[in-house]
Amino acid sequence: MATSSSSSLVSLLLISSLLLASLSEAKPSGPVVSGLSWAFYQKSCPKLESIIRKQLQKVFKKDIGQAAGLLRLHFHDCFVQGCEGSVLLEGSAGGPGEQQAIPNLTLRKEGFEILNDLRARIHKECGRVVSCSDILALAARDSVVLSGGPEYDVPLGRRDGLRFATVDTTMANLPSPFDKTTAILNNFDSKNFDAKETVALSGGHSIGISHCPVIHPRLFPTVDPTMDKTFAQNLKKICPTANSNNTAVLDIRSPNVFDNKYYVDLMNRQGLFTSDQDLYTDKRTRGIVTSFAVDQKLFFDEFAKAMIKMSQLGVLTGNQGEIRANCSVRNANNENFLASVVEEAVEEPGVWAGFK
């Protein structure tokens, strides 16, 4: 009896030390930009990450496509004015916002709703302490993980911006799918990403879809010679006209799974956009594409590192910006909504959450 209980104690200790070891391995140690930290909400909202993970599990069970939508939303947030949630702001009477810029017209509407729903759940639990830009950064990470991609930690503590960028600024910062590698590398270089990081981040196209207007120019009047013929024939059926509402998947081998098959597609001339396919045509990036196509672990490691870096672009911290009460509107324009949320937070303050 004594032997069996001491041996189970030993196994318990062994399991917990293994668990601790794996946790500390997963914990990143790299420097983060001033004002962000790996444990920012540890005291003020300890359940933050589990609320997001659990809710997104439910959302993606119904529609895994939403994972791609949230990942793209985070990218479009960070590349325009930094990761401060400005892409979430609706245009105002004063003028159109980022959401009205052409590349953002195809952001999934549901993505904005999913984020506001997450925000409401989090603020109910903890009070209005977590920014929409942090929620988006975590939601993008969970989109990757829940689609089969790498797990990584997200530094937190972003604050939400007070204004959105103009349509022109938005267009100037987001890369174009019609661009070749030189323009793509220049765009990413302006945000301090090198070629390897650029190719890794392009692997975001391992999941999700595109609409025909972006695909059609590579098919008509003549098929882009860098595109596989059978692949082109099939795409022509999906997108017979430029204004068709149809969609095609970004990664034909595994459209809903986050893996390295996107790079295998490129090696088989089955990349959907010029900006994708040219990464394999161009000598500067070809070797990187091949290295990710043959080694998924290498891709996952580089993608996770590049995402952590992207998630810190131009962040607001400390007392800059605000914590939005509604992700779609800045607080100053939203006083009634804000008042109701403050009441909600007073009724159920986060410190009592554990006693429910």
**Annotated catalytic sites, by residue?**
76
Q: Tell which one of 72, 119, 216, 309 touches ligand HEM (CB under 6 A).
A: 72
Interaction of residue 205 with ligand HEM, rule CB under 6 A: yes
What x-and-dash track marks residues 252-281 binding ligand HEM by CB under 6 A? -----------------------x------
Q: Tell which one of 56, 68, 114, 289 touches ligand HEM (CB under 6 A).
A: 68
Letter for the amino acid at 24?
S
Cβ proximity to ligand HEM, 156 vs 184, nearer residue: 184
**Least Cβ distance, residue 112 to ligand HEM (angstroms):** 12
Of 22-30, 128-136, 158-166, 198-206, which part binds ligand HEM (CB under 6 A)? 198-206
**Least Cβ distance, residue 289 to ligand HEM (angstroms):** 13
Are 161 and 80 in contact, with CB atoms under 8 Å apart?
no
Cβ proximity to ligand HEM, 118 vs 308, nearer residue: 308
What x-and-dash track marks residues 48-67 binding ligand HEM by CB under 6 A? -----------------x--
For ligand HEM, the binding residues in 88-117 under the rule CB under 6 A are 106, 108
What x-and-dash track marks residues 120-159 binding ligand HEM by CB under 6 A? ----------------------------------------
The DSSP output letter for 339 is H
- Residue whose token pair is 């938005």: 170
Interaction of residue 173 with ligand HEM, rule CB under 6 A: no
Interaction of residue 211 with ligand HEM, rule CB under 6 A: yes
Q: Tell which one of 82, 127, 204, 255 touches ligand HEM (CB under 6 A).
A: 204
Q: Tell which one of 170, 202, 312, 331 touches ligand HEM (CB under 6 A).
A: 202
Q: β-pairing, 209-211 with 247-249? A: antiparallel
> How many other C-beta atoms are found inside a 10 Å radius of the C-beta of residue 62?
8
CA diameter of the chain = 81
- Residue whose token pair is 């930690």: 153
**Least Cβ distance, residue 57 to ligand HEM (angstroms):** 18
What is the three-state SS of 183-248? HHHHHHHCCCCCHHHHHHHHHHHHCCEEEHHHHHHHCCCCCCCCCCHHHHHHHHHHCCCCCCCCEE
How distant, in Å, are the alpha carbons of 66, 105, 310 from that of 100?
20, 6, 23
Task: Please list the residues that pair with 329 across neighbouring strands.
Answer: 326
Nearest CA-CA partner of 256 in 52, 67, 58: 67
Are 52 and 118 in contact, with CB atoms under 8 Å apart?
yes
**Least Cβ distance, residue 260 to ligand HEM (angstroms):** 14
Cβ proximity to ligand HEM, 135 vs 140, nearer residue: 140
Burial class (CB in 10 A: 0-12, 13-18, 19+), 49: middle
Letter for the amino acid at 236?
K
For ligand HEM, the binding residues in 278-337 under the rule CB under 6 A are none
Of 14-22, 124-132, 150-158, 206-214, which part binds ligand HEM (CB under 6 A)? 206-214
How far apart CA 293 and CA 282 sit, in angstroms, is 16
Are 97 and 333 in contact, with CB atoms under 8 Å apart?
no
How far apart CA 138 and CA 118 sit, in angstroms, is 11
List of residues contacting ligand HEM (CB under 6 A): 65, 68-69, 71-72, 75, 106, 108, 175-177, 184, 201-202, 204-205, 207-211, 214, 250, 275
